[in-house]
Structure 1
Amino acid sequence: MEINYQSNFKLNKTEKKFLRKQIKARHTLLRHEGIEAVSYATQSLVVANGGLGNGMSRKQLLPVLEKCGLVEALLMPPNKPYSFVRYKTTEESRNAYASLNGKEIVDDLGQKVILYLNFVERAQWKELGHQALPPGLTVVEEIISSEDEKMLLESINWTEDLDNQNFQKSLKHRRVKHFGYEFHYENNNVDKDKPLPEGLPDICDSFLEKWLAEGYIKCRPDQLTINQYEPGQGIPAHIDTHSAFEDEIISLSLGSEVVMDFKHPDGITVQVMLPRRSLLVMTGESRYLWTHGITPRKFDTVQASEDYKSGIITSDIGDLTLRKRGIRTSFTFRKVRHMPCTCNYSLVCNSQRKETPPSFPESDKEASQLEQEYVHQVYEEIAGHFSSTRHTPWPHIVAFLKALPDGSIVADIGCGNGKYLGINKEFYMIGCDRSKNLVDICRERQFQAFVCDALAVPVRSGSCDACISIAVIHHFATAERRVAALREIVRLLRPGGKALIYVWAMEQEHNNQKSKYLRENRISQEKKEEIKCDKSTQGLLEQKSDIGSQNSASSVLSIDYIQEKESSSKTVTNSELPIHTNRTSFHSQDVLVPWHLKTKTGKNKPVEPFGSVGSCDPSPVFHRYYHVFRDGELEATCQTLSNVIILQSYYDQGNWCIILQKV
């Protein structure tokens, strides 16, 4: 049976609409996933909208498919909005194609979705490599009985915390109680000089003694944090501060299971199932080097096997399904450390690492390390607060996107919280960002986004009609890396495709236009005096006021403009990067810009060219690396690319902007 997609002139209006959507699903799978449908019947079908990534579990989908014939395999790749089904015979597959195409089905979230099926020669997906639990991590199942679980849950008095200011300040969306010492979420630490009046609850004594006697734990904890998670709630990826607690951190899961994500600095992510009534024990590498967190969502991807309880969520896509989260309560025990940490991970240990300001990078390796610490890690920490300040799309960017023809394939490289991903519903738009926490926010907003480095985007060359890169290129620490990032964007474009690039401008006043960044400078006289008296920061600014771009000085660029700028710049080696004073003009091109992480709602909203600069209230401060571009520098950098022409360059609210076209 050959399917003629062209003979739709005999179809009615509803059938034509369905056929268009089926063809659209087919092309989307080909462009974004490399899944190629065929125009003749086979035993295998790809089911668009029927995947774990859009809320469809194996339990919901399999019975629907089995009504059409004997299903030999249902393959559901993790986090993908499609699945593959293989029938015993081609006739059964053909029956499913005819019966289920356009069929409305209810997913596990209770939402109606329409299935679109296409024949494929074979199922295609990327398999994960073999994974093991992070070193030092142990999960002990059924560590307590169901009766003990009930007793522990009933012992928690949540009502007494309704007026607790610490609870209101630190956790707006989750109930929490502290014993022994209060755990401070803004810095993952405790105040060792301020123990709480009462120690750990007496009800915990017998359990701790038993775990010590049986060798599950090696020391008796003196701090306890109890968290209660509703379905859809999570906790950001983090490492408990080395200097705050001893090696062993344990967590008891009650009420419901959950999947916890562990991530190595190299980017390896391992998903670990924590069953109800299990004990998680983190020591060594898993405690000191790997981050751990819980992604906010209402369903987890888990193994479907009846005998599967805990451990790694594998890549066996023939055995994955969705499981709805319940209310989970965790008892996390720690022992407060009173001596400096002497672990074997000195590069990430706050007790052993020397807190000196970073210097201008002199190699690609140093530049990568600088970006890792002062860009990537910072955005992971501030993702939630950062997203709350990113809600209004900029008019010029919206105009660029809306001028593109319907059906365009558009990539947002460095998409942040995805505020541009939903501008035009007629686009096939996908975003990527280096921050997992920002990508998670995109996914919560039902946008297509994935985690990757802007220097290596896993999208096929020439597959995009347009790309945007808003406030990203200025985070790369050398001229060579900035050129490489631009080259990667151009690689994604088809011939004739366009790219819009925004970077921070060193000139915050241009052609009588003062940027919003400077216009909203409302620093009080008291604050001015404070800044004036900050001799260390002021001295750094004065020393760097005539430096220019050290990175450009080491660049391989041969543009006359850059050579001219280099000749007037001082060569600086082993020099500390200056810390920029918020809401003031830039005095150096390579700077650290402070971000004051707000822990509660405040009246003063942070303002900057494209990123928040924080406020005057006491709060954790993170520093992000920026290379702010001089007038003409972005054009000169783009001119080093051999296969683009510059269609337009302009200044917009403290940013240098350029539109490129691939030739």
Structure 2
Amino acid sequence: MDSNHQSNYKLNKTEKKFLRKQIKARHTLLRHEGIETVSYATQNLVVANGGLGNGVSRNQLLPVLENCGLVDVLLMPPNKPYSFVRYKNTEESKKAYVTLNGKEIVDDIGQKIILYLNFVEKVQWKELGLQVLPPGLMVVEDVISSEDEKMLLESINWTEGIDNQNVQKSLKHRRVKHFGYEFHYETNNVDKNKPLPGGLPEICDSILEKWMKEGYIKHKPDQLTINQYEPGHGIPAHIDTHSAFEDEIISLSLGAEIVMDFKHPDGVTVPVMLPPRSLLVMTGESRYLWTHGITPRKFDTVQASEGHKSGIIINDVGDLTLSKRGMRTSFTFRKVRQTSCNCSYPLVCDSQRKEIPPSSPESDKEASQLEQEYVHRVYEEIAGHFSSTRHTPWPRIVEFLKALPCGSIVADIGCGNGKYLGVNKELHMIGCDRSQNLVDICRARQFQAFVCDALAVPLRSESCDACISIAVIHHFATAERRLAALQELVRLLRPGGKALIYVWAMEQEYNKQKSKYLRGNRNSQGKKEIHSDASMQGLLVEQMPDLDNQASAGSDPSINDFWDGGCNSSKVTNSKLPIHTNRTSFHSQDLLVPWHLKGNPGKDKRVEQLGTTGSHDQSSVFHRYYHVFCEGELEAACQTLSSVSILQTYYDQGNWCVILQKL
């Protein structure tokens, strides 16, 4: 073959490869986002890979698009890996289609990204998100001068160790100093009987007095925590312990700006911009009920317009861009509480949980609150440790996934750390889970996963060839909510599509077989088994490392995840819901199951970078709500569903399992 023929062959091969990728991008947009492209030229284009969700900012993309003509509008939806552009006329959009298709650009952190463009009929995006701050939350811009900011930052002596004035500690990806009282991260509390000598730094006195005079705060704090955050890192979502501090919690942001996410128990998320020298004041509902945290990432989605500095990040897709994170220092002031908390949120209040213990809920609202406290919050806390014990996929679940036709679209509802998302490479699998920290682990493993509510999965009806729900539905606290979760699975299935469902069984001894997790059971090597439940309850919307480093080699995997060691009810006093003793038979269908959070859960650096493990001591115990299913209960619930046929029911090592098909 002469050189000309070789050149033509390479060119044809390149063109074919590009065409395949463009078609794949088109199909992906339709399948996962419902975006329909057209084969004829219009003024409008969808730019795959050119979105905020994969690190492309407005400032990067707009000049590239403008090289081809006058851009009428550029819409960049938050957390999406694509954008929409409308040109003034079709000739310019055609030029962009020809010129930019397959164009390689480099994002702010040096990654190469290839753009794929397709024509669409319309450029539009439904605005989402709450447009008001959480009740009781206030952000005050420029609360101190740049001179005061410099003075405060220079006053911190990070090189000193423990002295008479404060306690300095180094946590993952951040340095910390405490004044007034030391904050103990292993208990999320302070020792009220051991104040630190010296109180708060004198440099803060005049600033605090000024804030009180101006009405920003009502009480003078007596505890201060200074955190210095490295770029790209954050803190898990949390609520400051009710019994530890009074209502008012304030945080002064210095250095770089940051976006802090506030989340309501019903799943609503409000991203709040905190610019340098701004004061965040949390009182009432925002302090006691909403979690707040900083998602670990290199960039934040922010308003592009100059006039919008602080407050809510409005999902105006015509005015969003990316902001690269820098070093941030926060001064968080609190007043230590000397009496019990009597707030209006008893289900999330550690002072009142002893007086109003968890019980079987009588309403949907109560069920949602119970799940928030004893499912969602717990999995967010234990995510890193939980993931490190989730390793070998279960054979019968693998069998189900490998029997599906090549190219099938499969949703794993409640995917946990994503251990089933990579089982069959011939499938198009997407996962979702209620835990942001577990979804972050899925993303680090390069899996498609997003945060959502299993009762309202943001996928189109009849868009899936199959669904799996592994160890999820037993986390819903009423029969109505469990049935609604089953109905949501059926909604996602196309006619003929199948769903595989696993739930914990009441019967841990069945057909003369004792479940593997029961007390005293050991594997053939004499090691205690580490069990592997696939996921937690998926309950709101965003958008990828097998971390099975604690697995015992040779042990049989198990769905049930009763951690080694019994636990009695002393950790949750006066509870109307019984506390299960690990590795024993069930004596109640509705109960709390202990999870013993071990220190240093796993050695995988990727887990540490995700910041999911927290800083807990060796004996931290969390309690998760479960409804364990009696024989026939899951099958009976499935039989109430319309347009469904039950193909198979079986028992698998302490779990009741159903395979159903949509008619």
| TM-score, normalized by the shorter chain, greater than 0.5 | yes
Alignment match, 1:644? 644
Alignment pair present for 1:591 and 2:591: yes
Equivalence for 2:412:
412
CA contact (8 A) 1:47 1:84 kept: yes
Code of the residue aligned with 1:29 in structure 2: it is L
Equivalent in the alignment of 1:6: none
C-alpha spacing 1:393/1:351, structure 2 compared with 1 (3 Å): same
Identity %: 83
**Pairs within 5 Å for 1:286-297:** 286-297=286-297
Distance 1:81 1:231 in 2: 22
| Structure 2 counterparts to residues 246-645 of structure 1, below 5 A | 246-345=246-345, 348-352=348-352, 354-362=354-362, 364-510=364-510, 514-518=514-518, 519-520=521-522, 576-601=576-601, 619-645=619-645
Kept after mapping to 1: 8 A contact 2:385/2:602:
no
Deviation at 1:459, TM superposition (A): 1.9
Aligned CA-pair RMSD: 3.2
Three-state SS of the structure 2 residue aligned to 1:517 is coil
What's the CA shift string for 1:371-426, capped at 9, x where partnerless?
33322333233334333333443343334323333322111111123232344454
Aligned equivalents of 1:262, 1:481: Cα separation in 2? 25
Supply the distance in 1 between the matched residues of 2:572 and 2:176 (Cα, whole angstroms). 42
Question: What displacement does 1:352 show?
Answer: 4.5
Determine the C-alpha separation between the residues in 2 that align with 1:334 and 1:186: 18
* Aligned counterparts of 1:189 and 1:539: Cα–Cα separation in 2: 19
Give the Å deviation of 1:493: 0.9
1:227 aligns with 227
| Counterpart residue type for residue 270 of structure 1 | V
Q: CA deviation at 1:48?
A: 0.7
| Partner SS for 1:495 | strand
Aligned pair 1:209/2:191, yes or no? no
- Is contact 2:599–2:617 with CA below 8 Å preserved after alignment? no
Residues 13-36 of structure 1, C-alpha deviation per residue, up to 9 Å, x if partnerless?
Answer: 322222222122112212222211
Residue 505 of structure 1 aligns to which amino acid in structure 2?
A: A
The structural deviation recorded for 1:348 is 4.2
Does the residue aligned with 1:12 lie in a helix, a strand or coil? helix
* 8 Å contact kept, 2:186–2:617: no
CA displacement at 1:122 relative to structure 2: 0.8
Q: Which amino acid aligns with 1:101?
A: N
Classify 1:233/1:514 alpha carbon distance in 2 versus 1 (closer, same or farther; 3 Å). farther
8 Å contact kept, 1:371–1:477: yes
| Amino acid across the alignment from 2:433 | D
- Residues 130 and 270 in structure 2, CA contact (< 8 A), matched pair in contact too: no
Distance 2:308 2:595 in 1: 44
For 1:118 and 1:421, the matched residues in 2 are separated by 28
C-alpha distance 426-156 of structure 1, shift in aligned 2 (>3 A): farther
Q: What is the CA-CA distance between 1:324 and the residue it aligns to?
A: 0.6
**Aligned partners of 1:468, 1:171: CA distance in 2, in Å?**
38
Q: Distance in 2 between matches of 1:367 and 1:335?
A: 32
- Tell me: CA distance 1:387–1:157, structure 2 relative to 1, closer, same or farther (3 Å): farther
CA distance in 1, matches of 2:138, 2:571: 46
The residue identity in structure 2 corresponding to 1:329 is T
2:17: which partner in 1? 17
Which residue identity is paired with 1:135?
P
How far off its partner does 1:329 sit? 1.1
Contact 2:103 2:114 in 1 (8 A): yes
Cα displacement string for residues 146-202 of structure 1 (whole angstroms, at most 9, x for unaligned residues): 333233223323334599xx977x933332111111112344321111112332223
Cα distance in 2 between the residues matched to 1:424 and 1:18:
25
2:127 alignment partner, SS class? coil
Q: 1:602 to 1:469 in 2, by over 3 A?
A: closer
Distance 2:572 2:114 in 1: 61
- Using the TM superposition, give the Cα deviation of residue 37 of structure 1 relative to its aligned residue in structure 2, in angstroms: 0.8
TM-score normalised over the length of structure 2: 0.83
> 1:10, CA displacement in angstroms?
13
What's the offset of the Cα at 1:96?
0.7
- Which residue of 2 is the match for residue 33 of structure 1? 33
Is the CA contact 2:130–2:269 (under 8 Å) kept in the aligned structure 1? no
1:294 Cα deviation from its structure 2 partner: 0.8
TM-score, normalised by the number of residues in structure 1:
0.83
SS of the counterpart of 2:38?
coil
Deviation at 1:346, TM superposition (A): 5.1
Amino acid in structure 2 at the alignment position of 1:86: R
Q: 8 Å contact 2:341–2:349 — kept in the other structure?
A: yes
Could you tell me how far 1:298 is from its partner in structure 2?
A: 0.9
**Cα shift at 1:56:** 0.9
Which amino acid counterpart does residue 225 of structure 2 have in structure 1? T
Q: Which residue identity is paired with 2:476?
A: F
SS of structure 2 residue aligned to 1:626: strand
Q: Which residue of 2 aligns with 1:139?
A: 139
Amino acid at match of 2:62: L
Using the TM superposition, name which of 419-428 and 226-235 deviates more.
419-428
Q: 1:436 to 1:126 in 2, by over 3 A?
A: farther
Offset, 1:314: 1.0
**Following TM superposition, by how much is the alpha carbon of 1:350 offset from its aligned partner in structure 2, in angstroms?**
3.7
Q: CA deviation at 1:207?
A: 2.5
Change in CA separation of 1:362 and 1:70 when aligned onto 2, cut-off 3 Å: closer
CA distance change for structure 1 residues 351 and 483 in 2, over 3 Å: closer, same or farther?
A: closer
Between the aligned partners of 1:539 and 1:255, the Cα distance in structure 2 is: 44
Count of aligned pairs between the two proteins: 599
Secondary structure (helix, strand or coil) at the match of 1:134 reads coil
Indicate yes or no: 2:186 matched with 1:181.
no
> Residues 35 and 124 of structure 1 are in contact (CA less than 8 Å); yes or no, is this contact kept in structure 2?
no
Greater relative contact order (CA < 8 Å, ≥ 6 in sequence): 2
Cα 1:92/1:481, change in 2 over 3 Å: same
Q: Is contact 1:295-1:440 (8 Å) kept?
A: no
What are structure 1's unaligned runs of at least 5 residues? 1-8, 524-529, 541-574, 604-615
Displacement, 1:295? 1.0
Using the TM superposition, give the Cα deviation of residue 356 of structure 1 relative to its aligned residue in structure 2, in angstroms: 4.5
Matched, 1:60 2:60: yes
The one-letter code of the counterpart of 1:310 is S
Partner amino acid for 2:327?
A: I
Look up the equivalent residue of 2:489 and give its one-letter code: I
| Matched position secondary structure for 2:219 | coil
Secondary structure of the residue aligned to 2:24 is helix
Residue equivalent to 1:107: 107
Task: Compute the displacement of 1:140 (Å).
Answer: 2.2
- The CA distance in 2 between the partners of 1:23 and 1:363, in whole Å, is 48
Q: For the residues of structure 2 that align with 1:425 and 1:14, how far apart are their CA atoms?
A: 24
Q: Distance in 1 between matches of 2:654 and 2:161?
A: 46
Q: Give the 3 Å change call, closer, same or farther, for CA 342–471 of structure 1 in structure 2.
A: closer
- Deviation, 1:97, is 0.6
The 10-residue stretch of structure 1 (282-291 or 77-86) with the greater mean CA deviation from structure 2:
282-291
| Residues 84-115 of structure 1: CA deviation (Å, up to 9, x unaligned) | 01111100100111111122221233211211
| SS of residue matched to 2:37 | coil
- Distance in structure 2 (CA, Å) of the matches to 1:364 and 1:210: 45
Task: Answer whether contact 2:466 2:497 (CA < 8 A) is retained.
Answer: yes
**What one-letter code is carried by the residue in structure 2 that aligns with 1:195?**
P
SS in 1 for 2:637: helix
Task: Write the distance in 1 (CA, Å) between the matches of 2:293 and 2:301.
Answer: 15
Deviation at 1:634, TM superposition (A): 3.2
CA deviations over 1:32-63 (Å, ceiling 9, x no partner)? 22211111101110001110011111111112
Q: How far does the alpha carbon of each residue in 1:619-662 deviate from its partner, in whole angstroms, 9 at most, with x for none?
A: 33322121223344433433343433344444434323332222
Alpha carbons of structure 1 residues 256 and 265: separation in structure 2 relative to 1, 3 Å: same
Give the CA deviation at 1:539: 14
1:97 aligns with 2:82: no
1:179-228 CA-to-partner distances (Å, cap 9, x unmatched) read 11111234432111111233222332332233334333232211111111
* 1:602 CA displacement: 8.4
Retained in 2: the 8 A contact 1:537–1:578? no
Answer whether contact 2:346 2:356 (CA < 8 A) is retained. Answer: no
